[in-house]
Copies of this chain bind each other. A is one copy, B any other.
Amino acid sequence: MKKPGFIGIDLGGTNVRVGLINDDGEILHSITKPIRAQDGPTKGIQKIVSIIDAILEYTEVEPRAIGFGATGPVDHQKGTINNPYTLPTWENVDVVSPIRERYEVQVCLENDADVAALGETWKGAGIGYRNVAVVTVGTGIGTAFIQDGKIFRGFDQLHPEGGHIPIDPNGPECYCGANGCWEALASGSAIANHAKKMLPEYPESVLRLILDAHRLDAKSVIQASSQGDDLAKRIINLSAKYLGLGLVSLIHLHMPECIILTGGVMRSFSLYKPTLIDIIRKHSVMNPLYEIPLVMAKLGQEAGMVGAARAAMLDRLLQ
């Protein structure tokens, strides 16, 4: 009899990553290929099938279930992706049925942030914890929660959109239409916006030269901050303060055992950490929030694929 395994698929706006993973969470084989969303979902699904076929050719392992993590919105219950934003033309696409019919195993579909959180909890920074919050700070801010080792689902199976919790009622308008959302104050985009707004007060800042060259983004501000630029340091402190305030809300309401930070901006976690800890401590009178570990993600680009396989495994176990 062939050994059992699970296929994990992480479908992003640029690449699709497919892996064969065993019971212990070891990646036996994986392939990453670019996905051209504009070629349409039919071709996209064909490509995914050809990658799975290629992986299965190399192995004696038999997939028992397949898990899909995709850039949302996804409908977990219907198995459909509805994301014309980062996957143009992928509107209400059933990705589960064709894969299930092809491989005759159970297939599940989850939000990419949720599977990444599941992967980190299973095999990454969250090992040993059953209740974990994962906060992704990149262009935007995303949240995902693992509870009792499983993906936390809310009302109507919806994925919690923690990036839009209100942090400052007098804050800048968010693209969602509300004011002072977490994402509008502490994301990578917010860092760039703070910089543009505060530049006039700092005529000496190196950020001015960067802006003139049209490259003023979160990365350049973080770099200038590491190099001691006053404005850049002030911006990082400010966004760290806002990031910390959002974490306080998240902790007070969810009380996870561990918080994992990930995303492009969090590569500079060490710049943020002192302010985050300071803010959390200041809001810890009622409960010792500061005892909750604040750690960096460990699995990098593989978190989603590993977590998608885990989602498939849990789905099969629990059915």
- Contact check, B252 vs A161: say whether CB atoms are below 8 A apart: yes
List chain B residues, Cβ under 8 A from A155: 131, 255-257, 291-292
Interface membership of A49, Cβ < 8 A: no
| Bound Cα distance from A162 to B283, whole angstroms | 11
Q: Which of B169, B254, B257, B288 contacts A253 (CB 8 A)?
A: B254
Closest to A257 in B: B155
Count of residues in A whose CB is under 8 Å from the partner chain: 43
Shortest beta-carbon distance, A310 to chain B, in Å? Answer: 21
List chain B residues, Cβ under 8 A from A253: 143, 160, 162, 165, 249-250, 253-254
Q: Which of B163, B166, B254, B285 contacts A160 (CB 8 A)?
A: B254
Taking CB atoms and an 8 Å cut-off, the chain A residues in 103-161 that contact chain B are: 131, 143, 147, 153-156, 158-161
Interface membership of A203, Cβ < 8 A: no
Closest to A174 in B: B285
List chain B residues, Cβ under 8 A from A156: 255, 288, 291
Shortest beta-carbon distance, A159 to chain B, in Å? Answer: 8
Interface membership of A31, Cβ < 8 A: no
Shortest beta-carbon distance, A257 to chain B, in Å? Answer: 5
List chain B residues, Cβ under 8 A from A17: none
Interface membership of A309, Cβ < 8 A: no
Which residue of A160, A166, A168, A170 has the most chain B CB atoms within 10 A of its CB atom?
A: A166
How many copies of this kind of chain does the complex include? 2
| Bound Cα distance from A162 to B255, whole angstroms | 10
Which residue of A131, A159, A167, A250 has the most chain B CB atoms within 10 A of its CB atom?
A: A167
| Bound Cα distance from A158 to B143, whole angstroms | 21
Interface membership of A200, Cβ < 8 A: no
Q: Which of B153, B164, B292 contacts A252 (CB 8 A)?
A: B164
- Contact check, B169 vs A167: say whether CB atoms are below 8 A apart: yes
- Contact check, B164 vs A283: say whether CB atoms are below 8 A apart: yes
Interface membership of A176, Cβ < 8 A: yes
Interface membership of A177, Cβ < 8 A: yes
| Bound Cα distance from A281 to B131, whole angstroms | 30
Interface membership of A248, Cβ < 8 A: yes
Listed in ascending order, the chain A residues whose CB lies under 8 Å from chain B are 131, 143, 147, 153-156, 158-170, 176-178, 181, 241, 245, 248-250, 252-257, 282-283, 285-288, 291-292
Nearest 8 interchain pairs by C-beta? A154-B255, A176-B285, A161-B286, A165-B249, A155-B255, A178-B283, A166-B245, A165-B252
